[in-house]
Amino acid sequence: MQYPQSPFDVTQLPSWQALAAHRESLGSFSMREAFAEQPERFDEFSLKDCGLFLDYSKNLITTQTRELLVGLAREAGLERAIHALYDGALVNASERRPALHTALRRPIGDKVLVDGVDVMPEVHRVLNQMTELVGRVHDGLWRGYSEKPITDVVNIGIGGSFLGPQLVSEALLPFAQRGVRCHYLANIDGSEFHELSAKLRAETTLFIVSSKTFNTLETLKNAQAARGWYLAQGGTEGELHRHFIAVSSNTPAAVAFGIREENILPMWDWVGGRYSLWSAIGMPIAMSIGMSNFKELLSGAYRMDQHFQNAPFERNMPVLLALLGIWYGNFWGAQSQAILPYDHYLRNITKHLQQLDMESNGKRVRQDGSAVDFQTGPVIWGGVGCNGQHAYHQLLHQGTQLIPADFIVPVSSYNPVADHHQWLFANCLSQSQALMLGKTLHEAERELRDQGLGEDEVQRLAAHKVVPGNRPSNTLVMERVSPRRLGALIALYEHKVFAQSVIWGTNAFDQWGVELGKQLGKGVYSRLVGSDTGAAEDGSTQGLIDFFRGRHRG
């Protein structure tokens, strides 16, 4: 399939211009009034599929807004782009690669061609390899150098080789197979290594070096530190293969590190790092929850893939979330998006979505290299409720910016304690309610008078108590967090991000921007350690280098 389609400026499409006019005409649209006037609003703007329930009724939209937004998706060629994504077209134009994370979730028997070769047999061969390896660890057959079974698995990886696996293994802790603990080592900061290694015994620890490229500074440094620590603890070079395995598309580099070829699980160019938890990069997930649960995760994502491909756009969750994001970012001036999980197990989802969304959609040129002159990806931030309510929600409620929020909440808890879960759920709902309803000046004054305050006090305080409201949010509800539902939830956001990139005409699958820092990092390092005595490119960096060197000399 020919992809990307010929470049277009989305702002010149008739549907975009119709949306701009519609935004003008909405003027002071009030969600409060819309709910009062339309008893069926909740039913009209909510849907259920793949084990997820999406309420998007608390948005600054009417039925016409949805029609116009869906028109934009159609006019921008989203339908065709979804087929192109699934069929292995070169959706990552700058790197001339497909992005086939969806192939990783497809059932055996499906066919997906890359350069004329069906990749599905290889996908399932690696799943079998994972099953075998995980089984040996869980059954105590994989033994360390002292013949003791493995008790701790440490994933050494960063970015997509860390955030997705960490999110999932920690979100699915109730499904963890007892006996194997999972840890993550990502940052190059020695303190992280120090604190983690202090908890481990080398003879019962298995390290997974997870790096698509096997070329990432932080991961390689940590892998070397882990090997040094293992040898210092009594391990030998000869038994290294019992303690180090790898997941990488760069087998020669992993072999050069000292990992046996049969202990290297492959990865492929056609899987992007931030979309890779479904591949063997998911090894720590499988080590934690077992392969049958890992396959449930895949099947949840697969259901979402089918939904994305087949559901009409008006009832298509990823498409609707994508369009709402565009509505606020491009027509209401919103620059950030809050992700607010009301569930301890989902606490890392904000970090994963930060990479997924910001590395994918933090772009300023189209697939053909032409510059865009409108806003693309928002800043993704947030964190677990209710903690945020006692920290940054103040700005959501009364700050000057419009910040759309996604609330994510399960209806049941794995760990009910008294009525905590009812309170947690109530807090989630009341936050989105407060954002939407706000509090008028009149209501604030009445409330103060009802408290018995004199008129002077009422007038002094009322303005501070006004909450503008009319602030949009989505609420995603599910039963308890399960492998399937979590798979669907993560795939939902993957497809949302892709759909937005298609509409903007950008590439969601490259990340050239992160390269500059890596390049400059080498020069700064050489100057810090004195192997390069030349001046830095700018005075500020040189001043800070001098500061560091001054301290280390003293």
Using an 8 Å Cβ cutoff, are 248 and 211 in contact?
yes
Minimum CB distance to ligand F6P smaller for 65 or for 219: 219
Minimum CB distance to ligand F6P smaller for 153 or for 220: 220
Q: Is 390 assigned a catalytic role?
A: yes
Site for ligand F6P in 160-179 (CB under 6 A): 160-161
Amino acid residing at 267: M
Q: Is 518 assigned a catalytic role?
A: yes
Q: Which residue among 4, 273, 325, 410 contacts ligand F6P (CB under 6 A)?
A: 273
Q: What is the Cα–Cα distance from 522 to 545, expressed in whole angstroms?
A: 13
Q: Which residue among 77, 88, 98, 159 contacts ligand F6P (CB under 6 A)?
A: 159
Identify which range of 13-21, 156-164, 166-174, 254-262 contacts ligand F6P by CB under 6 A: 156-164
Q: Which residue among 158, 271, 324, 481 contacts ligand F6P (CB under 6 A)?
A: 158
Minimum CB distance to ligand F6P smaller for 202 or for 508: 508
Q: How far is the CB of 328 from ligand F6P (least distance, A)?
A: 26
Identify which range of 138-146, 154-162, 304-312, 471-479 contacts ligand F6P by CB under 6 A: 154-162
Which residue out of 518, 522, 537, 552 is catalytically annotated?
518
Size of interface with ligand F6P, in residues (CB under 6 A):
15
Q: Which two tokens stand for residue 366?
A: 């189209």
Among 213, 203, 109, 124, smallest CA distance to 160 is for 213
At residue 337, φ and ψ (nearest 5 deg) are: -140, 125
Q: What is the Cα–Cα distance from 422 to 415, expressed in whole angstroms?
A: 12
Q: Which two tokens stand for residue 292?
A: 């049958």
293 binds ligand F6P (CB under 6 A): no
Identify which range of 209-217, 225-233, 368-376, 545-553 contacts ligand F6P by CB under 6 A: 209-217
Q: Which two tokens stand for residue 362?
A: 């933090």
Q: What is the Cα–Cα distance from 152 to 148, expressed in whole angstroms?
A: 12
Q: How far is the CB of 127 from ligand F6P (least distance, A)?
A: 19
Minimum CB distance to ligand F6P smaller for 77 or for 377: 377
211 binds ligand F6P (CB under 6 A): yes
Using an 8 Å Cβ cutoff, are 47 and 317 in contact?
yes
Amino acid residing at 142: W
Q: How far is the CB of 218 from ligand F6P (least distance, A)?
A: 8
Q: Which residue among 514, 520, 529, 535 contacts ligand F6P (CB under 6 A)?
A: 514
511 binds ligand F6P (CB under 6 A): yes
Angle (CA) 10-14-15 rounded to 5° is: 75
Our measurement of the distance from residue 247's CA atom to the centroid of its chain's CA atoms, rounded to an integer in Å, reads: 20
Q: Is 95 assigned a catalytic role?
A: no
Q: Which two tokens stand for residue 89?
A: 């077209």
Q: What is the Cα–Cα distance from 178 to 151, expressed in whole angstroms?
A: 9
Residue with tokens 């009034």: 33
Site for ligand F6P in 322-361 (CB under 6 A): 359
Using an 8 Å Cβ cutoff, are 273 and 99 in contact?
no
Which residue out of 37, 147, 390, 464 is catalytically annotated?
390
Residue with tokens 């039925």: 63
Residue with tokens 């600054």: 60
Minimum CB distance to ligand F6P smaller for 161 or for 507: 161
Residues 6+ apart with CB under 8 A from 417: none
Q: Looking at the annotation, which residues are catalytic?
A: 359, 390, 518
Site residues (CB under 6 A) for ligand F6P? Answer: 157-161, 211-213, 216, 219, 273-274, 359, 511, 514
